[in-house]
Structure 1
Amino acid sequence: MRVPAFRRFVLASLVSATGSAMAPLALAYAVIGQGGGTGSLGVVLATNSLPTIVLTVVGGVLADRLSRSRILFLGNLLAALAQGVLAALVATEHATTASIAGCGFVSGIAVAFTAPAATGAVGQIVAAEHLQQANALLRLPGNAVKVLGPVAAGVLVAAGGPAWALSWDAVSFLVAALLLLGLRLSSPVTTGGLLAGLKGGWSGFRSRTWLWTYTAAGTVVVAAWLAGFQLLGPVIAAGHYAGARSWGLVQGAFALGLLAGTVVCLRWKPYRLLAVAVATGGALCLPPLALGLGLALPWVLLGAVLAGVGLDIAIVAWTTALQQHVPQDELGRMSAMNGVGERVAVPLGYLATALAAHALADRTMLLVCAGAIAVATVLNLCVRDVYRVIRR
């Protein structure tokens, strides 16, 4: 925090996190407000995720060739424009499913370019020995906002409609863009065009066994987690617990675990970074397992807290390992290729659940999801290269 550029980066992350925490609820009610239902919301969410899947690798190539601070500035500016237009459409009651999806598509493009640049930017700002603490500090405000943001969004939407929350999201992106413009990070020293960058990135990704095996296992883990917790969790809570009240407690417990995991990462510096990331990420199997077994709510809450702690430790340890073991001129592409796997898992998990819904009971599918997370974790821990990625 003594580094001025890092303080600026943290402040930008905090400001944009406040808007991003409100946006999902506001977006859902914007779709409902113009007469849309589940199908319309699904179209909007799919349209938002499509460009991040297709363009993230291109964003990684550019992050290894251009100034990352300039990419972050332009990406946040584009997101501010998209959310501002959306807020105006909703406020004037001219929003349609198509227009909302179009704004979401533009926002998805912004994410595709800013996500790889952000990972590399931290490595340029902070010394290697402080990377883990820097990554943890960056996650701290976002995790804190996840606890309060949805509540604030609910109050704001109830009082004045979704346009107000969407307007704040646009303003937060604009403020973050202006803060990031002041970083003025130099461009990585690279040669060759876009196609050569893509080929070189794929070659580097494939040659690192620890990287592609972690990405493959992570795709399975994320898909099973989204299907088991995000999709089936509310359904089970409605049928076997106290409905929305119980599910709100579970979500709060998970957010609390994320915060606790961040605090752990500020103090604990594991030596085998990647092995710790793999093992702690396996804790995501606990909430689906508890729900699938029909355990009492306190056990589900405990599983959610432990899953949150494990996930945040895994993210910080993984990001630190990537930044320490990948050269700066490849970091954007390696981060992007890992990110593609996680983003592909979103439609994959939902689609697999939809196909299995006719053949399996909800609780059985939850147990399958928990088992898939556990098996993927164990198989990844069997990869010898995982234990060679150590703290430097």
Structure 2
Amino acid sequence: MKTAARPRTTGTTPLRSASFRRFVLANLISATGTAMAPLALAYAVIGEGGGAGSLGLVLTTNTVPTVAFLLAGGVLADRMSRSRILVAGNVVAAAAQGALAVVVLSGAASTLSIAACGFLSGVAMAFTVPAGQGVVNQLVAAEHLQQANALVRLPSNAVRVLGPVVGGIVVALCGPGWALAWDALTFLIAALLLHGLRLEKPVTVHSALSDLRAGWAGFRSRTWLWTYTVAGMIVVAAWLAGFQLLGPLLAAELYSGAGSWGLVQGAFALGLLAGALVCLWWKPYRLLVVAVSTASLLFLPLTAMGLGLPLPAVLVAALLAGIGLDVAIVAWTTAFQLHIPEQELGRAGSFNSVGERLAIPLGYLLAALAAGTWSDRDVLLVCAGVIVATTMVNLCVRDVYRVNRAVRQPG
């Protein structure tokens, strides 16, 4: 299988490339809608009379198709033009969110109709995620990959700081339907921008099933890749169980409730933004070691809340965790792009993404089971310990130390 030659950007920044600027702008516009969508979705469910069970059903119907179709999306990303897949996926997502906005604004929304739209959005995500992981490789030269990855995340992280606040204002003043309508519009605008990329498709010589088997063989043969995926699944599960599920409960118990929890989330989002800025100038040699190590900083806010430390200490811990996570994401993405052949990026990325998404129900389930035995604070400390222990085990894998920026895409 062959791919088009990598474009050779000139200058010291990938922003000199018009195609890369188009890709960043599409991501930024889409992020403004995505940041508002969770809040709007929750209030759309509440508005039609649903409770926690209904919201759980809606979120599940969005997650399940993503996991179910991710591997198919990975195979397709290595067989078709990735820009065309992104365009199609954004159009489908726009249609799903647009339909949801219409039923909410018309007052005809039900749990079933909201879940159906969420299912369609989940299918679209299953194909856009693997395709998106290989786009930067086709837009910028190898020496600019880390900077490009940081630049892609920088505006999106900035939106994460302000998006929920703006979304709350829009939902409060206009209702959730209009926030969902904006989300649909941003997907459509992103599709129009991505249409201009026109990336060449790979030349395929095998069947889709053969490509899937080859992708699994490649994933399994790279010890650093599958061990990082397994470790990442455990870390993400512990983080979601501790921070997302039990964090708000501890904020209500130990601090001032929703207001203090909003500050903690804001500190974490600011940390993500700062982490992207760090990656614009810091270029570590051992990329995977850095990715594994800095992700472990997620244990900090869990420990701070588990020990009942004052709110300022929790805010500092959340800020550091955000910095560490974004540095880890950029370092990991750069290592992944450098050490996986371009024609395998979609499939390898889909296997990695399946692990991450399986961590979502796993983390929530384990936290619910543990909460019946231990106190919430004890569960937080256990989750923090799991993150640290998993990191230490992953750092014992010798392959982790050979994944650096000096080696590019071995077969």
If the TM-score is normalised by the length of the shorter chain, which range does it land in? over 0.9
In the alignment, structure 1 residue 316 sits paired with structure 2 residue 301: no
Which blocks of at least 5 consecutive residues in structure 1 are unaligned? none
Q: 1:47 aligns with which of 61, 64, 69?
A: 61
Query: C-alpha separation between the residues in 1 aligned to 2:313 and 2:122?
Result: 36
Aligned identity (percent) is 68
Q: 2:384 aligns with which of 349, 370, 390?
A: 370
In the alignment, structure 1 residue 207 sits paired with structure 2 residue 218: no
Q: 1:335 aligns with which of 349, 352, 357?
A: 349
Q: 2:85 aligns with which of 59, 68, 71?
A: 71
- Which amino acid is 1:203 matched to? A
Partner secondary structure for residue 134 of structure 2: helix
In the alignment, structure 1 residue 149 sits paired with structure 2 residue 180: no
Measured after TM superposition, the shift of residue 133 of structure 1 is 0.5
Aligned residue in 1 for 2:112: 98
- The one-character-per-residue Cα deviations of 1:232-259 (angstroms, maximum 9, x if unpaired) are 0000000111111110110000001000
Measured after TM superposition, the shift of residue 204 of structure 1 is 0.3
Aligned residue in 1 for 2:317: 303
Aligned residue in 2 for 1:238: 252
Q: 2:140 aligns with which of 126, 129, 136?
A: 126
Query: C-alpha separation between the residues in 2 aligned to 1:271 and 1:188?
Result: 30
Aligned residue in 1 for 2:189: 175
- The one-character-per-residue Cα deviations of 1:328-386 (angstroms, maximum 9, x if unpaired) are 11011111110110000000000111112211110010001000111111100110000
Aligned residue in 2 for 1:386: 400
Q: Is the 8 A contact 1:30 1:90 kept in 2?
A: yes
Q: How does 1:171-320 map to 2 (within 5 A)?
A: 171-320=185-334
Query: C-alpha separation between the residues in 1 aligned to 2:202 and 2:152?
Result: 22
Query: C-alpha separation between the residues in 2 aligned to 1:351 and 1:250?
Result: 24
Query: C-alpha separation between the residues in 2 aligned to 1:100 and 1:283?
Result: 36
- Which amino acid is 2:213 matched to? K
Measured after TM superposition, the shift of residue 45 of structure 1 is 0.5
Query: C-alpha separation between the residues in 2 aligned to 1:120 and 1:310?
Result: 24
- Which amino acid is 1:239 matched to? E
Which blocks of at least 5 consecutive residues in structure 2 are unaligned? 1-14, 407-411
Q: Is the 8 A contact 1:12 1:177 kept in 2?
A: yes
Query: C-alpha separation between the residues in 1 aligned to 2:68 and 2:335?
Result: 25
Q: Is the 8 A contact 1:188 1:328 kept in 2?
A: no
Q: 2:33 aligns with which of 19, 23, 26?
A: 19
Query: C-alpha separation between the residues in 2 aligned to 1:358 and 1:272?
Result: 41
In the alignment, structure 1 residue 87 sits paired with structure 2 residue 73: no
Query: C-alpha separation between the residues in 2 aligned to 1:199 and 1:298?
Result: 50
Aligned residue in 1 for 2:50: 36
- Which amino acid is 1:234 matched to? P
Measured after TM superposition, the shift of residue 191 of structure 1 is 2.1
Q: Is the 8 A contact 1:223 1:349 kept in 2?
A: yes
Partner secondary structure for residue 242 of structure 1: coil
Partner secondary structure for residue 16 of structure 2: coil
Partner secondary structure for residue 165 of structure 2: helix
- The one-character-per-residue Cα deviations of 1:146-182 (angstroms, maximum 9, x if unpaired) are 0110011111011010001000000000000010011
Query: C-alpha separation between the residues in 2 aligned to 1:120 and 1:376?
Result: 28
Measured after TM superposition, the shift of residue 189 of structure 1 is 2.8
- Which amino acid is 1:297 matched to? L
Query: C-alpha separation between the residues in 1 aligned to 2:181 and 2:246?
Result: 31
Measured after TM superposition, the shift of residue 190 of structure 1 is 2.8
Query: C-alpha separation between the residues in 1 aligned to 2:399 and 2:26?
Result: 36
Q: Is the 8 A contact 1:189 1:329 kept in 2?
A: no
**TM-score, structure 2 normalization:** 0.95
Number of equivalences: 392
Query: C-alpha separation between the residues in 2 aligned to 1:12 and 1:114?
Result: 13
